[in-house]
Chains A and B, each alone.
Chain A
Amino acid sequence: EPEVTQTPSHQVTQMGQEVILRCVPISNHLYFYWYRQILGQKVEFLVSFYNNEISEKSEIFDDQFSVERPDGSNFTLKIRSTKLEDSAMYFCASGLGAGDQPQHFGDGTRLSIL
């Protein structure tokens, strides 16, 4: 069964540093997403991406965050200057269609900011 893959599985970074989280969505999917889950809390939407542009973003997704699909397969999330509160599990997801289609999640990147 095709799956969403994410790298790295764990990233440890000093506060203020830039991080790039990488994802390879399922190949025939058209919609791409980033979510995050702070330890002990619920999964929260960050951003959705379709047709090479951001289609929606949450309040969490401020100017420190950016997404990119640099080629036909990768989908990246960049955090420009990390803060302690960015420590969380970051999940990439992809879906075939719009809101009525389920989204399939990668196994996540655990981001630890020191």
Chain B
Amino acid sequence: RKEVEQDPGPFNVPEGATVAFNCTYSNSASQSFFWYRQDCRKEPKLLMSVYSSGNEDGRFTAQLNRASQYISLLIRDSKLSDSATYLCVVGGYGGATNKLIFGTGTLLAVQP
């Protein structure tokens, strides 16, 4: 099983749509969870940290289910500028490390 697994997409959605991405991770001792965004050939940029209580930042909502080892990201009212690859990232993998483990990313294309 992959350490961090995501559907690669692409997700093609019209402007204004709501889109949801899911991610699973294999090591239950992982400590921290993030969504990063990566534009083509650019660096990963932190979108948001993910907490068990769920957290929201404007149009973006992230959720963590530790029991199912499942992380989600919901984007409401999609904009053209949301088009990017969304990276599910797990930190403290196995509990004894600071390194980040990246998923392969989910490609989102928002259409006008």
Contacts and interface: CB of A to CB of B under 8 A. Distances in A.
A107 B31 contact: no
B98 A55 contact: yes
Interface of A is mostly: strand
Contact of A31 (B41, B42, B92, B98): B98
Interface residues of A, number: 29
Interface string B83-101: 0000100011000011111
A76 to B, nearest CB: 18
Interface in A78-104: 89, 91, 93, 95, 98-104
B42 A107 contact: yes
Interface of B is mostly: loop
Interface stretch (B15-23, B44-52, B53-61, B62-70): B44-52
A89 B98 contact: no
B11 interface: no
Interface of B: 31-32, 34, 41-46, 49, 87, 91-92, 97-105
Instruction: List 8 A-B pairs, minimum CB-CB distance, nearest first.
Output: A99-B92, A45-B99, A43-B102, A105-B43, A100-B32, A99-B98, A42-B104, A99-B91
Interface of A: 31, 33, 35, 41-45, 48, 50, 55-56, 58, 89, 91, 93, 95, 98-108, 110
